[in-house]
Structure 1
Amino acid sequence: MTEPLNPLDDDITPDESVAGLIALLSPEQVGEDRFVGPRKPGGRGRIFGGQVIGQAIAAAQMTAPEGRTAHSLHAYFLRGGDEDHPIDLMVERDFDGGSFSNRRVIAAQKGQPILNLTASFQKPESGLEHQFPMPDVKMPEDLPDEAALVRKLAGPERGAIALFHKSRGFEARVPPVRFSQDADPKDGYIWLRTLAPLPDDPAVHRNVLALYSDYGLLSAALLPHDMVFNNRKIKAASLDHAIWFHGDARMDEWVLYSFDSPWAANARGFTRGAFYTRDGRLIASTTQEGLIRPISVKSA
């Protein structure tokens, strides 16, 4: 009998896992405004959407004028990516103004686009300041490690989720009901941090946040229906995604990702997210619309 996949059974250290995450989000330039995003070592099946977003914004940043950083991105997922292949990234320099720059990125595999992304970059300026307060949630020390909850799963759900946990380079603390059918909208949040320190470069931390941003967000559309993302009666996939970067923060320290869903219909769900530092500073906002399609499950 084959032992179930343990999400922590990697023969690598946390430092090596994070080094792999940094390498994954570091596209190689292969021509003028052309880059290649590496494949995830050991990856199997469909590419995690956050990886494609992270690689695309990293490529766009490499073409932006010095001193300008990403303040927003908007992306459409077109096709599922294949982890057996790297990702080709073509950047178009649409605009360089006095304060803002705009870039378009086409991410493709085997000659077909899998994601289109537009990003805007701004040089630092001063202005009015305000923010919504951080929601009242449990701190990461008061929540279970997500990997521990994955170990308790059984059947196909465990295998698929555990595979994603391998070599991903970050850890998560979540409400226990995240993997039960007793989910509730108030449990729409996750604490995230990398397994080991990252370099000080703020661009690296923004790229990691971009990867984080696709993690768990679409599940917010299921919580009002007492459902969770590993429910076999639902086919779910991201359709489009947006991030607004409000400020820099370290992704190797705990950050809160809270999310909700104002609407769902027509086999689609709309979700909103917000990233906060532990001391309550709002550092990014996200939105996403995804496919939420009921499917019939054949009895064994």
Structure 2
Amino acid sequence: MTEAAREAATGLDSEQGIGGQTVLDRLVALLDLEKIEENIFRGVSPPHSPVRVFGGQVAGQALVAAGRTVPPERQVHSLHAYFIRSGDPSVPIVYEVDRIRDGRSFTTRRAVAIQHGKAIFALSASFQKEEPGLEHAEPMPDVPDPESLPTLPERAGPYAERLGLRSRPRPIDIRYVNDPPWVTRDTGERPARNQVWMRADGVLPDERLLHVCVLTYASDMTLLDSVLARHGVYWDLDRVIGASLDHALWFHRPFRADEWFLYDSASPTASGARGLATGRFFAADGRHIATVVQEGLLRVA
């Protein structure tokens, strides 16, 4: 995980002794944007943030902004986004939504995140009314049950301090299926896939868009690890500088983000200081619920 992703995974603040539900409620509040004008919304970052805004946060907030201009019976089925500039966590983010099109079946929105008068992030999202149609999907990989796997702090073990993974409540519960990349870096393995179970660490409200936004938030956490693992390097253990460049998500079937979902990712290629990663999300019952593709900047000294 990048520094910002680690902070998102390890908690929304540094307060000790609070439950996972409390931290998850703070994530929900983070995604509950303030409407300041028609098609204009304002969001904030957690009070204890890294030097730049976590990409999953700005993507989730932008999707909330776009979704609040769409009729509730139309659900988002895809988003495409570019990370343009690093976000400043010390000031609010303004989201401007452009109502591109309202068709008979599809609705298209564009949301731009702005700080200091400049765009830091741009998202296009498409929403569709529910329709019957063809159905097929590849099967979910055969993996252990998430409850049988150690938690992220338990898995980190002796690496926890170097990785900045503190033992405190987190909004997203992460369980590695295979050895994490910081372990394979030392063992010499070069795994082709990175697999983790995830879920919101608590109970979310029954709002479908919110569950989609929480998955969007989580989708930026471990995806680029699949690129680094192919080369035996990792963020804090080597001189790696990285950032998300663009991000695309397709949502295939309904799901709850507070129930376990498998995040199965791989990297088909890397070149020109950029790495491409693809990921599939599966619900615990085996349904393929979403697909993600991201390209990231990766500079290794």
User: 2: CA distance between counterparts of 1:217 and 1:202?
Assistant: 23
Instruction: Give secondary structure in 2 for the equivalent of 1:188.
Output: strand
Give 5+ residue unaligned stretches, structure 1.
296-300
Scaled by the length of structure 2, what TM-score is found?
0.89
CA contact (8 A) 1:151 1:158 kept: no
Number of the residue aligned with 1:213: 219
CA contact (8 A) 2:192 2:267 kept: no
Pair 1:212–1:249, CA change in 2 (3 A):
same
Instruction: Give secondary structure in 2 for the equivalent of 1:63.
Output: coil
Count the aligned residue pairs. Answer: 286
1:82-110, Cα deviation, whole Å (9 max, x unpaired): 22122110000011111001111101112
RMSD: 2.0
CA contact (8 A) 1:178 1:187 kept: no
User: 1: CA distance between counterparts of 2:125 and 2:16?
Assistant: 35
Structure 2 counterparts to residues 176-255 of structure 1, below 5 A? 176-180=179-183, 181=185, 182=187, 183-255=189-261
User: 2: CA distance between counterparts of 1:11 and 1:30?
Assistant: 35
User: 2: CA distance between counterparts of 1:20 and 1:137?
Assistant: 31
Instruction: Give secondary structure in 1 for the equivalent of 2:68.
Output: helix
Number of the residue aligned with 1:84: 90
Instruction: Give secondary structure in 1 for the equivalent of 2:72.
Output: coil
Pair 1:140–1:186, CA change in 2 (3 A):
farther
Pair 1:77–1:102, CA change in 2 (3 A):
same
Instruction: Give secondary structure in 2 for the equivalent of 1:136.
Output: coil
The worse-fitting range, judged by mean Cα deviation, of 118-127 and 183-192 is 183-192
Number of the residue aligned with 1:172: 174
CA contact (8 A) 2:20 2:170 kept: no
CA contact (8 A) 1:18 1:195 kept: yes
Number of the residue aligned with 2:79: 73
1:29-84, Cα deviation, whole Å (9 max, x unpaired): 11010001122132232111000000000110000123111000000001111221
Pair 1:172–1:58, CA change in 2 (3 A):
same
Q: CA deviation at 1:228?
A: 3.1
Correspondence for 1:94 among 70, 88, 100: 100
Q: CA deviation at 1:16?
A: 1.2
Q: CA deviation at 1:187?
A: 4.7
Q: CA deviation at 1:210?
A: 0.7
Structure 2 counterparts to residues 1-300 of structure 1, below 5 A? 10-150=16-156, 152-153=158-159, 157-159=162-164, 161-162=165-166, 168-174=170-176, 175-180=178-183, 181=185, 182=187, 183-295=189-301
Q: CA deviation at 1:158?
A: 2.7
Q: CA deviation at 1:255?
A: 0.6
User: 2: CA distance between counterparts of 1:20 and 1:176?
Assistant: 30
User: 2: CA distance between counterparts of 1:158 and 1:286?
Assistant: 25
Aligned residue identity for 1:177: P
Q: CA deviation at 1:154?
A: 6.2
User: 2: CA distance between counterparts of 1:48 and 1:151?
Assistant: 24
Give 5+ residue unaligned stretches, structure 2.
1-6
User: 2: CA distance between counterparts of 1:80 and 1:263?
Assistant: 25
Aligned residue identity for 1:130: H
Instruction: Give secondary structure in 1 for the equivalent of 2:267.
Output: strand
CA contact (8 A) 1:91 1:105 kept: yes
User: 1: CA distance between counterparts of 2:44 and 2:235?
Assistant: 27
1:107-140, Cα deviation, whole Å (9 max, x unpaired): 1112221101000000000100001111122321
1:278-299, Cα deviation, whole Å (9 max, x unpaired): 111000000000111122xxxx
Pair 1:167–1:77, CA change in 2 (3 A):
farther
